[in-house]
Amino acid sequence: MATDAPPPSKTTHQLPSAEEFVEVQQSAEFSELRRSHRSFAFPLTVAFIVWYLMYVLLSNYAGDFMGTKLFGNINVAFVLGIAQFVTTFLIAWWYSRHANAKLDPKAEAIKTRMEGGA
């Protein structure tokens, strides 16, 4: 009778120990990875939250300004609302490029070292 189970793996990997994880977490390489991520993500997050809150506050307290027609039936509120979506996608695209160029190579090096030593 045949079974559908996959053949056993030729290599067996042990997971790194807790001490090895702590050692990597305290390494300069990991600190640089974390700094790279934070120096990009935190300022951009703060900037986007300020931009979003500005839109909300303008919508609530500057109705005349937001209702200003720019052309046809398009007003300031509509343009700023669409700009919210555009900036969201631009930030996601920018972060993806940053992660591919700066974060992923560092993370892959750490991962390879951890798996290689296991």
Whether the pLDDT of residue 117 is over 80: the answer is no
Residue with tokens 């991962």: 111
Residue-wise pLDDT for 26-46, tens only, equals 889 989 999 999 999 999 999
Bridge-based pairing state of the strands 74-75 and 69-71? antiparallel
Note the pLDDT of residue 17: 78
What pLDDT does 4 receive? 62
Extents of the domains making up the chain: 28-116
**For a pLDDT cut of 70, what percent of the chain falls above it?**
87
Listed range (14-18, 34-38, 69-73, 103-107) with the worst mean pLDDT: 14-18
pTM of the complete model beyond 0.75:
no
Query: What are the residues whose beta carbons fall under 8 Å from the beta carbon of 71, sequence distance 6 or more?
Result: none
pLDDT one-digit tens code per residue, 73-104: 999 999 999 999 999 999 999 999 999 999 99
Eight-state DSSP code of residue 14: P
Grouping H, G, I as helix, E, B as strand and the rest as coil, residue 69 is strand
How many other C-beta atoms can be found within 10 angstroms of the C-beta atom of residue 62? 14
